[in-house]
Amino acid sequence: MKKIVPPEALQFLASIPLFKGLPRKLLVLLYGHIEERHVHNHTVIYYKGEISKELYIIRHGEVMMTLGEAGKTVRYLGEGDVFAENSVLTRTAHTGSATAILDTQLYVLDGEYFLKLAAKERVLSQNLMRLMGMRMREVMEDSSSQIHSPRRLVCHIPIEEVEDFKVHLESIVDNGRKSHEGHVSLLRMDTFKGKSVSEMIRTIAQLRKKSSILHLYFKNPEIQPELDKLVQQCDQIVFWEEKPERNLKQKNEILGYWEPRIRNFSGRTSRIIVSENGLRKHEESANQKVFYKGETFARYLVSRTRGLALGGGGARALAHVGLLKVLEREGIRFDFVSGSSFGAVIGALYARGESTDSIFKMIGKFFGGIEKPFDPTIPLISFFKGKRMLRMLKDAFGTQLIEDLKIPFATSAVDLHSGQEYVMDQGPVWEALAAAMSLPGMFPPVFKGDHLLIDGGVINNVPENLIRRKGADVILSVNVSPLRDEGIVRLLEDRKVTGKSFFKNLWEDITYPPILKIMARAITLEGREITKLRKEKMDLFINLHIEEFAFTDFGKYKEIIKKGELETEAAIGDIRKLFFPAEK
């Protein structure tokens, strides 16, 4: 039976550059070999490494191409775009994948038939050569007109009345704009009422060319079945509530309606609780992301959540307080924090929500003099008992748990039994920090079950990987340990050269024995070589130059904090560039 050719289909084919100049008779012939294929959103059309036997033309919808070795280069194709022609022509494997990100109607043309037709028809072969030449230029020039930042389509659904809902939404959009290079827009779902599904998708595709992040929202907590198909196109569906304990029947009805209608419900949906006293533990038992901070949520939606990794270095880590002072002044806040050794202590205080003024006062209380954190003992296992340091940690954090900190936090130690890194992101804060700070030789190892734990900085002194695993997208990694020596480091001094008195020299050797200097130096050298290897892969690695201060100069906390502040001010341009890419 002869295939009927709709006039609009011929008009569409004639508008495509690949078929430009072809006579109507040939377009009819082409259409006869085309299969119309509907592809659901978030469905892969082909994978990297596959060889295509078909040529694809987008009738309507949107397709995302991922290119390059890591699949990070992204290009978006829309109505009238042709793809897979290189694989069809050269019979080679795709270097990336293609995924429909909106419901997409494809015209699928048999590759073998197309090549035979191109061999006969001069105009078609010339058009094909032009297309291949354009693809070659895109690859050679890495054309910015074809490569885009990732697009997101987000739908916001209130499941109860939320006070100032629109204000909260606008705040989400505004924070997203600050963290994202592309344009971000907010649009009411009512805008699409009365449109067919294909009209909705065409409208969305057009809007996304201007706004890479598009937020759609329902004004009220209600179900509107005529807009279901539009909600199903979204990458992320967000359910809003104010008080988790109220309106349970209404919430269950709305959630129950959407759960069977959204594919991969737990992976594509999240909830945001506006109230600060949300039932966090109850909510986290559900297999769904739950947010309590709108700013973090805004960055999550544009894949720009922020992480801060604070390196260890004994007293030098006090420079992180100066760093935080500058970041606080600049209005730069974080969604994840990690720290190593004493950097973990500063990180945990920040994660608890302490201001820099408050942290400074606590430092002054506990480290007003070098004798305060150190308690010498007979050096069978370590030179210091560690009891004063332990008391300090208990006084500072009490019974607080890591999972109850305001900002997700992680630190690590090394298990001497297994030789592996031991990650700590739950349990008592003081207990985790005690293990994270047990520098071999200085403080005794910490027993935790079958594990014997020492300072994590030995193998991971700037632990950005700990929060990368938790979901941090862009991470500021801060090192305070010297990466190179400006001159010869003298661990053992000749009193005749230094001019120090016998008793002063003796007192210094008792309070900080030369063997400890040698051990700390050896560990620092090993740790810095590991840090050098890792820093090239970090988003932004800054090195605070605190070399003039010793590992145990806690009594000089004011000078170290001030130096950390000055060093951070010198690097603030790079820091803002990382977190505010839209700033010019």
Which tokens go with 173? Answer: 């959009």
Helix H or strand E encompassing 426? none
Pairing outcome for strands 63-67 and 97-100: antiparallel
Instruction: State the Rg of the chain over Cα.
Output: 30
Active site residue 455: yes
Q: At what angle do helices 319-329 and 342-351 cross, to 10 degrees?
A: 30
Nearest to 401 by CA among 351, 457, 448: 351
In contact, 526 and 465? CB cutoff 8 Å: no
Q: What residue has token string 């179900």? A: 223
Separation between Cα atoms, residue 279 and residue 293, nearest integer Å? 14
Which tokens go with 3? Answer: 């295939």
Q: What residues contact residue 223 under an 8 Å CB cut-off, 6+ apart?
A: 254, 257
Active site residue 341: yes
- Helices and strands per DSSP (H, E), number in the chain: 22, 22
Q: Which of 52, 212, 341, 382 is catalytic?
A: 341
The SS3 of residue 293 is coil
In a 13 Å sphere around the CA of 23, the CA atoms on its Cβ side amount to: 4
Separation between Cα atoms, residue 389 and residue 453, nearest integer Å? 16
In 326-408, the DSSP E strands lie at 336-339
- DSSP conformation letters of 142-196: T-TTT--PPPEEEEEEESS--TTHHHHHHHHHHHHHHH-SS-EEEEEGGGGTT--
Q: Which of 335, 415, 455, 553 is catalytic?
A: 455
Helix H or strand E encompassing 452? strand 451-455
User: Would residue 45 be called left, alpha or beta, if left means φ above 0 and alpha means ψ between -120 and 50 degrees?
Assistant: alpha
CA dihedral 441, 442, 444, 446 (to 10 degrees): -110
* Residues forming the active site: 341, 455
